[in-house]
């Protein structure tokens, strides 16, 4: 598999606080990779660093073979990195269509944008029905769909998703994970997925990394991680004693 995203020895500080320590991780083209870890382990910081929303002190971020760690966020989006931010934030006062167009803010090809808007309406018929509805009035599941569709409007090759199922009812959680697997399968987009529910995340991922206080503590294939006693104990709520 070709490597799409590579973080090498990434160090990030918040003031004097060393939050990411020599983080190394890779996402292959078209791959789903799960980023796990307890609260405050640095998962969101890793996502923000990939997007360029948090500055790194040292290390490199390569996307499609090109170093991007010194590029602006819009430049990274143009290169093919998109995000579904924590708690699937959408612009609540904007309509569904306006939210989708906001996802294409880095693009200048109007015809292509119009085409993609149509494609998103086909892919997410619920959003098409509600195109003029204010996004803040959508149900939780619909807002989630909109956050995915908005991310796709930049024609990304990688989507970074930070806890996309946060606060959703259990029934919707399964639905959202199925949707992520479908986007990956049908559109070939790679996904870096932060998810509290490790077992669910690993059920659709091919590999995973576990962050512990800012360091990659464990990594492996999804099957290896699911069988790892350290993971079972810490994240899957199973005692190995
Ligand atoms: N802007 C900031 N300034 C200072 N410290 C910060 C800032 N953002 C995050 N931190 C700290 O960095 C650490 C890692 O935070 P981060 O949000 O990356 O964790 P996380 O793994 O996403 O946690 P959670 O599972 O709770 O979302 C935490 O201790 C947090 O308090
Ligand atoms: Mg977080």
Q: How confident is the model at residue 90 (pLDDT cuts 50, 70, 90)?
A: very high
Give 103's contacts (C-beta < 8 A, 6+ positions apart).
Answer: 82, 149, 150, 151, 152, 153, 154
Among the bound ligands, the one closest to the CA of 198: 1
Which atom number of ligand 1 is nearest to the Cα of residue 46?
A: 18
For residue range 40-88, what is the model confidence (pLDDT) as tens digits? 999 999 999 999 999 999 999 999 999 999 999 999 999 999 999 877 7
Q: Is residue 205 scored above 60 in pLDDT? A: yes
pTM over 0.85: yes
For residue range 113-131, what is the model confidence (pLDDT) as tens digits? 999 999 999 999 999 999 9
Probe residue for ligand 1, chosen from 44, 164, 195 as the CB with the greatest number of ligand atoms within 8 Å: 44
Secondary structure class of 87 (helix, strand, coil): helix
Q: How far is the CA of 48 from the centre of ligand 2 (A)?
A: 10
Q: Is residue 145 scored above 60 in pLDDT? A: yes
Q: Beginning with the edge strand found earlier in the chain, give each strand of the sheet holding 207-212 in spatial order.
A: 81-84, 158-162, 190-194, 32-37, 207-212, 215-221
- State mean pLDDT over 134-144: 93
All domains in the chain, ordered by first residue: 3-91+156-235 (3.40.50.300)
Among the bound ligands, the one closest to the CA of 19: 1
How much is the pLDDT for 197?
86
Q: Are 192 and 27 in contact (CB under 8 A)?
A: yes
H/E element holding 161? Answer: strand 158-162
Probe residue for ligand 1, chosen from 11, 39, 40, 85 as the CB with the greatest number of ligand atoms within 8 Å: 40
List pocket residues of ligand 1, CB cut-off 6 Å.
14, 17, 19, 37, 39-45
For residue range 216-230, what is the model confidence (pLDDT) as tens digits? 999 999 999 999 888
Q: How far is the CA of 234 from the centre of ligand 2 (A)?
A: 17
Q: Are 80 and 158 in contact (CB under 8 A)?
A: yes
For residue range 151-197, what is the model confidence (pLDDT) as tens digits? 999 999 999 999 998 888 888 899 899 999 999 999 999 999 999 88
- Alpha-carbon dihedral angle through residues 81, 46, 29, 140, given to the nearest 10 degrees: -70
């Amino acid at each position: 598999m070709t490597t799409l995203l590579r973080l090498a020895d990434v160090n990030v500080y918040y003031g004097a606080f060393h939050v990411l320590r020599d983080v190394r991780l890779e996402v292959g083209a078209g791959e789903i990779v799960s980023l796990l870890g307890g609260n405050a382990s640095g998962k969101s910081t890793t996502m923000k660093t990939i997007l360029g929303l948090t500055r790194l002190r040292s290390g490199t971020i390569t996307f499609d073979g090109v170093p991007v760690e010194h590029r602006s966020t819009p430049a990274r989006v143009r290169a093919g990195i998109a995000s579904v931010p924590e708690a699937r934030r959408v612009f609540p006062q904007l309509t569904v269509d306006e939210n989708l167009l906001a996802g294409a803010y880095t693009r200048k090809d109007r015809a292509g944008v119009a085409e993609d808007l149509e494609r998103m309406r086909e892919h997410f018929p619920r959003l098409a029905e509600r195109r003029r509805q204010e996004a803040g009035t959508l149900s939780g599941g619909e807002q989630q769909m909109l956050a995915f569709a908005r991310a796709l409007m930049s024609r990304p090759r990688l989507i970074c998703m930070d806890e996309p199922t946060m606060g959703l009812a259990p029934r919707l959680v399964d639905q959202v994970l199925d949707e992520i697997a479908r986007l990956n399968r049908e559109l070939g987009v790679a996904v870096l997925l932060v998810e509290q529910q490790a077992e669910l995340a690993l059920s659709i991922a091919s590999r995973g990394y576990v962050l512990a206080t800012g360091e990659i503590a464990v990594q492996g294939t999804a099957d290896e991680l699911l069988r790892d006693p350290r993971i079972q104990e810490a994240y899957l709520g199973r005692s190995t004693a």
